[in-house]
Amino acid sequence: MFETIQSLIDQEGQICVPARHLTPPANLYELGMTPYTAIRLLLAIEREFRIEFPRDSLNRQTMATMENIVRGVRAAQFAPAYEWLQAA
């Protein structure tokens, strides 16, 4: 998953260093990502992983680091199952 996210960061994030050189907690905004490129990255991640981020995770913090992005993707992957269980 990290490799895919790194590739998407390189394509959409427009940061000053290649994503493969970053540690998971590196702040992408401090490396040059803008709110506009964060939205592009978010949409690319949703397409790639066939997920939809929950509304409450659509914030700056979710896209700030690779580890936060992974956490968000995992939460979105399990969200439909959790919602289904709550509805039952």
Could you tell me the fold of the domain covering 2-87? 1.10.1200
CA distance 53 to 19: 22
Q: Tens digit of pLDDT for each residue in 46-84?
A: 999 999 998 888 899 999 999 999 999 999 888 655 454
Q: What is the DSSP letter of 53?
A: -
Task: Please check whether residue 77 is in contact with residue 49, taking contact to mean a CB–CB distance below 8 angstroms.
Answer: yes
Note the pTM of the prediction, 2 decimals.
Answer: 0.85
Position 17 pLDDT exceeds 60: yes
Whether the Cβ atoms of residue 21 and residue 56 lie closer than 8 Å to each other: no
Question: Which pLDDT score, from 0 to 100, does residue 80 have?
Answer: 59
- HEC per residue, 22-43: CCCCCCCCCCCCCHHHHHHHHH
Residue 26 has pLDDT above 60, yes or no: yes
